[in-house]
């Protein structure tokens, strides 16, 4: 038996002295050097007592060594659990306890917080700094640069990714070797990644976008990765002429557009700009194409499924949509109450099925049964519709649906109108408690640069375009919207902020 994921992603590059990672200072790490480091790490993982199926949790900065820990886990059969570097001690404690991680890697600066947690939970702890140094790398350096790859099959688990947990405890999505490999293979072919590509990689690697999409796709294609610790506008502008592709979140593109150096001449070597993890404003689409001649490709994925849909590589990349279901992925829109499929164009809950869909939630069988049907369809919780051309549009999360006076209100419909208003950069619409209607609509506006939205004019325009029950009952201006590390608006924070807006005095 072979190791499904390691053989296809990493093993095929064994002994190759070809570039894999190019760092911000132009240091080059070859495939052979990277795999040698990963092998040493695999030895240290096993020396710590971990065997195939055990969990290794990491809360460490982005570095080549951090990426090599992922490869080492795959090679040794250990389940990789990356954690957001912004998580606090109590949050990390939950993940360690829930996953049963036997080994935790943390930044040296957090050791004093993490070590007592690990002691309570009988987990080992080692350190790895943002530059890749630390006790783990020091111990691993004593081992050989080769490791006997552990056999793992398609259905064996490769990683846990925990959901963001905005409506309760985070759930550990169990991802198998086949889940990760099949999706990467589809994307590499769909987006046409080859050994002629150089990807600008400024995403974090604790999230599916930067780890299981960007990295895995490049490994499959034999592409080179220009590897950044994080988003650095100056560094990206310097290196864009040396690259062919960029995967980013909407913030990347708005910040690049704010720089006058970013233009068609700078981007003439590029063939692909991909955006995801949060919706891209139509205005950004238009500005980007006008400035560069390139049209950004939007796609749609989730923690539990990796990527489900993508706008086409060739053909119409339609702003506001996330394109077609990927090859091998079935998608349908269903009534949230009955689960029955609904007609084209109607809004409902999106369900998907395919080899990319996860195996369930770790130690949460009831949650798994609630969201993963026996026939293999996963209830995403995203509301959307499919138009008559087959394009999928996401209108929001089911939990963001506003029910006011018995009417269903989709925030995206209102946000699209608000985003088009003069003086408005972007908006967010949430539902808050209301004594008469159950819930009512609140709009939050972010001003465009050096402008002040005219609330009275905006309200008048909205009244002309929307039924009364959809119209916001309160408008608020904020400098920025609260977002998570991947750029998604945290509507739970806004709901909490405005929850008492219509409360009746006692």
DSSP state of 144: -
Does pLDDT of 386 surpass 80?
A: yes
HEC assignment per residue over 429-458: EEEEEECCCEEEEEEEEEECCCCCCCHHHH
User: Residue ranges per domain, the chain?
Assistant: 4-16+30-153, 401-497
Q: Rounded to an integer, what distance in angstroms lies between the CA atom of residue 279 and that of residue 290? A: 19
Q: What is the mean pLDDT of the chain?
A: 93
The angle subtended at Cα 248 by Cα 246 and Cα 249, nearest 5°, is 160
Structure tokens at 36: 């040698």
- At 222-252, the pLDDT tens digits run 999 999 999 999 999 999 999 999 999 888 9
Say which range, 64-73, 217-226, 238-247, 423-432, has the weakest mean pLDDT: 423-432
Give the pTM.
0.86
Distances (CA, A) of 236 to 94, 137, 262, 492: 36, 29, 10, 33
Distances (CA, A) of 14 to 7, 33, 78, 219, 429: 10, 9, 20, 12, 51
Query: Can you give the pLDDT at residue 46?
Result: 98
User: Confidence band (pLDDT; 50, 70, 90) for 163?
Assistant: confident
Query: Can you give the pLDDT at residue 504?
Result: 64
User: Confidence band (pLDDT; 50, 70, 90) for 505?
Assistant: low
Q: Are 198 and 223 in contact (CB under 8 A)?
A: yes
HEC assignment per residue over 204-241: CCCCHHHHHHHHHHHHHHCCEEEECCCCCHHHHHHHHH
User: Confidence band (pLDDT; 50, 70, 90) for 168?
Assistant: low
- At 19-54, the pLDDT tens digits run 999 999 999 999 999 999 999 999 999 999 999 999
Say which range, 13-27, 166-180, 311-325, 335-349, has the weakest mean pLDDT: 166-180
Query: Can you give the pLDDT at residue 166?
Result: 46
Query: Can you give the pLDDT at residue 203?
Result: 95
Instruction: Label residue 234 exposed, middle or buried (CB < 10 Å: 0-12, 13-18, 19+).
Output: exposed
Q: Are 390 and 397 in contact (CB under 8 A)?
A: no
Torsion of CA 373, 208, 381, 443, to 10 degrees: 180
Over residues 290-297, the mean pLDDT reads 97
Does pLDDT of 408 surpass 90?
A: no
Q: Rounded to an integer, what distance in angstroms lies between the CA atom of residue 229 and that of residue 404? A: 45
Q: Are 383 and 410 in contact (CB under 8 A)?
A: yes
What backbone torsions phi and psi does residue 301 show, to the nearest 5 degrees?
Answer: -150, 180
Query: Can you give the pLDDT at residue 139?
Result: 98
Does pLDDT of 93 surpass 50?
A: yes
User: Confidence band (pLDDT; 50, 70, 90) for 180?
Assistant: very high
4-16+30-153, what's its fold?
Answer: Rossmann fold (3.40.50)
Helix 455-465 with 411-419: angle, nearest 10 deg: 130
Q: Rounded to an integer, what distance in angstroms lies between the CA atom of residue 495 and that of residue 433? A: 9
The angle subtended at Cα 100 by Cα 96 and Cα 105, nearest 5°, is 50
Percent of the chain with pLDDT over 70: 98
User: Confidence band (pLDDT; 50, 70, 90) for 365?
Assistant: very high
Task: Assess if CATH 3.30.413.10 describes domain 401-497.
Answer: no
Query: Can you give the pLDDT at residue 127?
Result: 98
Query: Can you give the pLDDT at residue 2?
Result: 94
Classify residue 227 as left (phi > 0), alpha (psi -120 to 50) or beta: beta
- At 471-492, the pLDDT tens digits run 999 999 999 999 887 778 999 8
Q: Rounded to an integer, what distance in angstroms lies between the CA atom of residue 48 and that of residue 27? A: 31
């Amino acid at each position: 038996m072979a190791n499904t994921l390691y053989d296809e992603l990493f093993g095929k590059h064994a002994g190759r002295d070809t570039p894999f990672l190019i760092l911000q200072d132009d240091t080059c790490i070859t495939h052979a050097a990277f795999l040698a480091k990963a092998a040493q790490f695999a030895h240290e993982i096993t020396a710590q007592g971990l065997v195939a199926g055990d969990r290794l949790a990491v809360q460490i900065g982005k570095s080549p060594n951090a990426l090599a820990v992922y490869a080492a886990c795959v090679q040794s059969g250990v389940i990789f659990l990356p954690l957001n570097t912004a998580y606090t001690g109590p949050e990390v404690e939950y993940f360690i306890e829930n996953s049963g991680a036997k080994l935790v890697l943390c930044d040296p600066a957090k050791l004093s917080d993490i070590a007592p947690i690990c002691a309570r939970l009988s987990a080992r702890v080692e350190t790895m700094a943002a530059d890749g140094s630390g006790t783990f790398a020091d111990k691993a350096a004593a081992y050989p640069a080769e490791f006997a790859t552990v056999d793992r099959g398609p259905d064996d688990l490769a990683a846990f990714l925990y959901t963001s947990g905005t409506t309760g405890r985070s759930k550990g999505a169990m991802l198998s070797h086949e889940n990760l490999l099949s999706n990467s293979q589809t994307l590499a072919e769909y987006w046409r990644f080859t050994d002629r590509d150089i990807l600008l990689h400024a995403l974090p690697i604790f999230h599916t976008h930067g780890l299981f999409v960007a990295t895995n796709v490049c490994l499959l294609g034999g592409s080179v990765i220009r590897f950044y610790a994080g988003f650095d506008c100056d560094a990206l502008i310097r290196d864009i002429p040396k690259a062919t592709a960029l995967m980013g979140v909407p913030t990347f593109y708005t910040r690049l557009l704010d720089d006058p150096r970013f233009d068609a001449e700078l981007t003439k070597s590029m063939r692909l700009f991909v955006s995801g993890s949060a919706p891209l404003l139509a205005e950004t689409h238009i500005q980007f194409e006008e400035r560069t001649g390139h049209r950004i490709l939007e796609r749609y994925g989730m923690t539990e499924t990796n990527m489900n849909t993508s706008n086409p590589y060739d053909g119409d990349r339609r702003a506001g949509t996330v394109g077609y279901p990927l090859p091998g992925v079935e998608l349908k829109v269903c009534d949230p109450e009955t689960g029955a499929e609904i007609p084209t164009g109607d809004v409902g809950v999106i369900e998907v099925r395919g080899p990319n869909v996860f195996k369930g939630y770790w130690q949460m069988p009831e949650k798994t049964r609630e969201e993963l049907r026996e026939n293999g369809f996963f209830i995403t919780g995203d509301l959307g519709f499919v138009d008559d051309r087959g394009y999928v549009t996401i209108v929001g999360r089911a939990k963001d649906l506003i029910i006011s006076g018995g009417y269903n209100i989709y925030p995206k419909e209102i946000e699209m109108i608000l985003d088009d208003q003069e003086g408005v950069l972007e908006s967010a619409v949430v539902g808050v408690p209301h004594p008469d209607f159950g819930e009512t609509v609140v709009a939050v506006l972010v001003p465009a640069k050096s402008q002040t939205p005219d609330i009275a004019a905006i309200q008048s325009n909205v009244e002309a375009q929307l039924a009364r029950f959809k119209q916001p009952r309160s408008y608020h201006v904020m400098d920025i919207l609260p977002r998570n590390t991947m750029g998604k608006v945290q509507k739970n924070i806004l709901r909490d902020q405005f929850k008492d807006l219509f409360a009746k005095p006692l």
